[in-house]
Structure 1
Amino acid sequence: MSNKFLKKQKHKELNFTKKTIVLIALSVILCVTGFFLGDMKDIMRKAIFICMECIGLG
């Protein structure tokens, strides 16, 4: 393999890593925002109702 190919491959991996870090950071920020706005309670309540309906209790 040529040295030029290895440099391109390392550059692609670096871009993928940056994209991954940005997406994970954005996900964490949105989860924390939702938690402080009280959305977690609504989501949990809806999830419980859906599960109870699925097994025939709701």
Structure 2
Amino acid sequence: MKKKNQSPPVKIRKAPFITIFVFLVLGAVGISLGEPSRVLEQATRICLSCIGIG
């Protein structure tokens, strides 16, 4: 006996997974190169110059 309301197989989109993977790889490369500390250093310098201390 055949089912009348058989749904088609669900297609999984690959683009979101590829995009997330690329961003994770780029984030890991940035962290390994020490970018977070450099960004924090520059942000501190800019903030201190904005308020007239640096």
* Shorter-chain TM-score above 0.5: yes
Which structure shows the higher helix fraction? 1
Moved over 6 A (4+): none
Aligned length: 45
Mind listing any 5+ residue stretches in structure 2 that lack a counterpart?
1-7
Mind listing any 5+ residue stretches in structure 1 that lack a counterpart?
1-6
TM-score, length of structure 2 as denominator length: 0.55
Q: Percentage identity across aligned positions? A: 24
Q: Which amino acid aligns with 2:15?
A: K
The answer on 1:27 being equivalent to 2:23 is yes
CA distance in 1, matches of 2:47, 2:15: 35
CA RMSD in angstroms comes to 2.3
CA distance in 2, matches of 1:51, 1:21: 37
